[in-house]
Amino acid sequence: PGSLKLAVIPGDGIGQEVTAEALKVLEVAAPAGVKFEPTRYDLGAERYLATGEVLPDGVLEEIRAHDAILLGAVGGKPGDPNLPPGLLERGLLLRLRFELDHYVNLRPARIFPGVTSPLADPGDVDFVVVREGTEGPYTGNGGAIRVGTPAETATEVSITTAFGVERVVRDAFARAERRPRKKLTLIHKTNVLTYGGAVWSRIVKEVGAEHPDVTVDYLHIDAATIFMTTDPSRFDVIVTDNLFGDIITDLAAAVTGGIGLAASGNVNPDRTTPSMFEPVHGSAPDIAGQQKADPTAAILSAALLLDHLGHHASAATIEEAVIADLAGRAGAEPRRTAAVGDAIAARVAG
Amino acid sequence: PGSLKLAVIPGDGIGQEVTAEALKVLEVAAPAGVKFEPTRYDLGAERYLATGEVLPDGVLEEIRAHDAILLGAVGGKPGDPNLPPGLLERGLLLRLRFELDHYVNLRPARIFPGVTSPLADPGDVDFVVVREGTEGPYTGNGGAIRVGTPAETATEVSITTAFGVERVVRDAFARAERRPRKKLTLIHKTNVLTYGGAVWSRIVKEVGAEHPDVTVDYLHIDAATIFMTTDPSRFDVIVTDNLFGDIITDLAAAVTGGIGLAASGNVNPDRTTPSMFEPVHGSAPDIAGQQKADPTAAILSAALLLDHLGHHASAATIEEAVIADLAGRAGAEPRRTAAVGDAIAARVAG
Ligand SMILES: CC(C)[C@H](C(=O)O)[C@@H](O)C(=O)O
Ligand SMILES: CC(C)[C@H](C(=O)O)[C@@H](O)C(=O)O
């Protein structure tokens, strides 16, 4: 303690604006005696377009020497001819997740009081998705031949290992143990992706045997999207692979009041590398620079960061401030990004 | 004309019950002078458990000689130790889709009058998903080593070809041209699955250039799930790969009033093989044999079958009968599966 080294990567579009607010709140929330030392890294579309650099190895090594990473959003203007699709996602965001072995991609979903869900009757929703972060079809394994011709053939390989599944499943069970309902739902597509699915099923069964007090169930990803809209309160802890986790967490965010509120942590539970915290939303180039973005997801991600670093009380203070702010939003005029950050920071300051 | 040879595969669980109702309605809906000659194939879990057979080659060849296939649902009791996960799905359902080259998996989504959506304010929803049916991670390409050990490693390969994408994209554009809004949305995950994604993006752009009156947009699958809950009326024609189509159509079914109403066709638009029509729902072993299943999705699938065979008026008659039946459901006592079929058949009969 004393000083916490924070790598700050605002990234692209609204990432810049929301990160500024998260930092603002983080500073006032820091526990007595703890000081954040932020170092800003200007990675993202702008740097790439100016220099051709995405994530230089030296920068990655510098980032590695921090206690945690706060990230805004990554991704340029869709269709920008100078930005090959996926280049920033693969080269920056996913590279960080993979190189820093962020195998737990943690995404809480909760309908806060006063927040409107698009569902007519969502019930009491409070669950957390533990998305695997280092395998599945996200590894970059794949290729294409005869590119651009009528004979083009492309492949992507989804990789699932017992090693990778076991560590994330253990984390998910540990979380389920700490929650009152103690329920864990595996989401996969074991009837079609039978090879990877068998690994998930077996390991959930094996680790589940060590947790007899945790109730375990299974849903195919397609059926899970149905329950997410008809009965989301059934979920407590969800554990799932990288791709299904990507999909179900955006849906969960929508159902719990929107992507403007959805926080996430890319966590290395072994603490051998800095974990990275970021809103689930993207860079939203269409509204960038207009102070229209909702910084709440970034601010809640900062709370996850504090929690991860062991500052549970400070994390709770941010969450309470956000809950209080949200309660006042219904019917009110939309505020500028900075005004939302100011209001939440003021509540945290007390 | 004259007589239409129909291969009927009721399959497992509620597949049996709903198929009986679909056949009932189909018979009364048949246009004057057209007679259905149904041949029943007892494929599914029961046959497999009794004989070890899933889809014998000879049976496949017999089925191939029909004009169309009506299928109920495939899949045994989840967790049945005698039924390896995916065995029936891969060996029967997917084998039929692949061997008969059902490259257009057609799934309309519409909120019918009187039907309740779980969304508070769904708007006027009427779209169709054109899901690719013969590629993606559904081909069975994959494997595993060191199975059952802590060193297990499994792979699944998603295959995307320009050949496969172009034919389904052409079909989707043709459908968009026939619809008043003329809008096509490509759903993929081009920022992560960059190789396959590039094929989809390129071909949608190329074929789109031949359809200047069709408005084209693109959504990542994760973002698409958000819009499906916050603004589903924005969709007109969706074209997408096999896996994303599986996921988004279950979500679409949920949003438009439930999987009990969602019909689908596995279509070979070249008509070189029989197309296959089936409800989107599964075999629901938990309620099987209890006359609790809603046969509406199977009945609407029979309407898609008639439509595919060119009997547009008869198809429309079924759809109108279903709409009339649905309008009377709100607040009414739930009926037995056969009673719903009887009621719709009576309306069709006039
Ligand atoms: C930007 C993209 C690569 C990323 C993902 O697919 O993981 C995003 O959608 C997310 O969920 O964090
Ligand atoms: C049963 C399963 C193999 C199938 C699929 O994944 O396509 C089903 O979910 C569907 O959507 O028809």
The verdict on A334 and A299 lying in the same domain is yes
CB A45 within 8 A of CB A72: no
Residue of the CA atom closest to atom 2 of ligand 1 = A89
Report angle CA B98, B99, B104 to the nearest 5 degrees: 45
The verdict on A202 and A304 lying in the same domain is no
The verdict on B230 and B123 lying in the same domain is yes
Domain assignment present for residue A124? The answer is yes
Q: What spatial distance separates the first Cα and last Cα of chain B, rounded to whole Å?
A: 23
Written as one string, the DSSP assignment of B280-309 is SS---GGGTTTT-S-THHHHHHHHHHHHHT
Query: Domain holding A173: CATH number?
Result: 3.40.718.10
Sheet containing strand A35-40, edge to edge, reads A35-40, A3-11, A68-73, A275-279, A263-267, A104-110, A126-132, A237-240, A183-188, A215-220
pLDDT at B77: 87
CB B287 within 8 A of CB B336: no
Q: How far is B142 from chain A (nearest CA, A)?
A: 7
Total Cβ atoms within 10 A of residue B107: 25
The verdict on B233 and B125 lying in the same domain is yes
What residue ranges of chain B have pLDDT lower than 70?
1
The verdict on B140 and B99 lying in the same domain is no
Asked if B195's CB is within 8 angstroms of A142's CB, the reply is yes
Q: How far is B180 from chain A (nearest CA, A)?
A: 27
Looking at the CA of B88, which ligand is closest?
Answer: 2
Q: On the CB side of B220, how many CA atoms lie within 13 Å of its CA?
A: 21
Q: Helix, strand, coil: what percent of chain B each, to 5? A: 45, 20, 35
Q: How far is A11 from chain B (nearest CA, A)?
A: 16
CA distance A278 to A264: 5
Domain assignment present for residue A196? The answer is yes
Q: Is A278 helix (H, G, I), strand (E, B) or coil?
A: strand
Beta-carbon contacts of B95 under 8 Å, excluding residues fewer than 6 positions away, are B54, B55, B60
Calculate the alpha carbon distances from A3 to A27, A41, A63, A302, B181 in Å: 12, 19, 16, 16, 58
Are β-strands A142-145 and A68-73 bridged in parallel, bridged antiparallel, or unpaired?
unpaired
pLDDT at A79: 82
Task: Spell out the per-residue pLDDT of chain A, length 350, in tens.
Answer: 589 999 999 999 999 999 999 999 999 999 999 999 999 999 999 999 999 999 999 999 999 999 999 999 998 888 899 999 889 999 999 999 999 999 999 999 999 999 999 999 999 999 999 999 999 999 999 999 999 999 999 999 999 999 999 999 999 999 999 999 999 999 999 999 999 999 999 999 999 999 999 999 999 999 999 999 999 999 999 999 999 999 999 999 999 999 999 999 999 999 999 999 999 999 999 999 999 999 999 999 999 999 999 999 999 999 999 999 999 998 899 999 999 999 999 999 98
CA distance B284 to A278: 39
The verdict on A51 and A140 lying in the same domain is no
CB A284 within 8 A of CB A125: no
Q: How far is the CA of A125 from the centre of ligand 1 (A)?
A: 23
> Residue A243: enclosing H or E segment and its boundaries?
helix A242-255
Sheet containing strand B153-161, edge to edge, reads A142-145, A153-161, B153-161, B142-145
Q: Is the CB of B243 under 6 A from ligand 2?
A: no
Q: Does A233 touch chain B (CB under 8 A)?
A: no
Q: What are the tens digits of pLDDT across the range B215-273?
A: 999 999 999 999 999 999 999 999 999 999 999 999 999 999 999 999 999 999 999 99
pLDDT at B1: 57
Q: Which two tokens stand for residue B43?
A: 């494929």
CA distance B122 to B310: 32
Domain assignment present for residue B212? The answer is yes
Q: In terms of CA atoms, which chain A residue is nearest residue B89?
A: A191
CA distance B88 to B106: 22
The verdict on B43 and B122 lying in the same domain is no
What are the backbone angles phi and psi of residue A220, rounded to the nearest 5°?
-65, 150
- Mutation target to probe the B interface, by most B beta carbons within 10 A, among A77, A156, A165 is A156
- Return the bridge partners of B145, or none: B153
Residue of the CA atom closest to atom 11 of ligand 1 = A246
The verdict on A172 and A222 lying in the same domain is yes
The pTM of this model reads 0.97
Domain assignment present for residue B281? The answer is yes
Q: Write down how long chain A is.
A: 350
Q: Which two tokens stand for residue A316?
A: 């709770």
The verdict on A101 and A134 lying in the same domain is no
Residue of the CA atom closest to atom 7 of ligand 1 = A246
The verdict on B139 and B242 lying in the same domain is yes
Q: How far is the CA of A85 from the centre of ligand 1 (A)?
A: 13
Domain assignment present for residue B291? The answer is yes
Report angle CA A304, A306, A179 to the nearest 5 degrees: 50
Domain assignment present for residue A37? The answer is yes
The verdict on B252 and B285 lying in the same domain is no
Written as one string, the DSSP assignment of A143-203 is EEESTTSTT-EEEEEEEEEHHHHHHHHHHHHHHHHHSTT-EEEEEE-TTTSHHHHHHHHHH
- Return the bridge partners of A184, or none: A216, A237
Q: Kindly list the catalytic residues of B.
A: 138, 189, 222, 246, 250
Q: What spatial distance separates the first Cα and last Cα of chain A, rounded to whole Å?
A: 23
Looking at the CA of B251, which ligand is closest?
Answer: 2
Beta-carbon contacts of B79 under 8 Å, excluding residues fewer than 6 positions away, are none
Domain assignment present for residue B110? The answer is no
Domain interval for residue B6: 1-103+274-350
Option in B85, B202, B221 nearest A247 (CB): B221
- The number of distinct structural domains making up chain A is 2
The residue among B256, B290, B312 that closes a domain is B256
Domain assignment present for residue B262? The answer is no
The verdict on B121 and B252 lying in the same domain is yes
The residue among B256, B283, B315 that closes a domain is B256
Q: Is the CB of A93 under 6 A from ligand 1?
A: yes
pLDDT at B30: 94
- Of B187, B222, B226, the one to substitute when testing ligand 1's pocket (max ligand atoms within 8 A of C-beta) is B222
The residue among A222, A256, A290 that closes a domain is A256
In ligand 1, the atom with minimum distance to the C-alpha of A97 is: 7
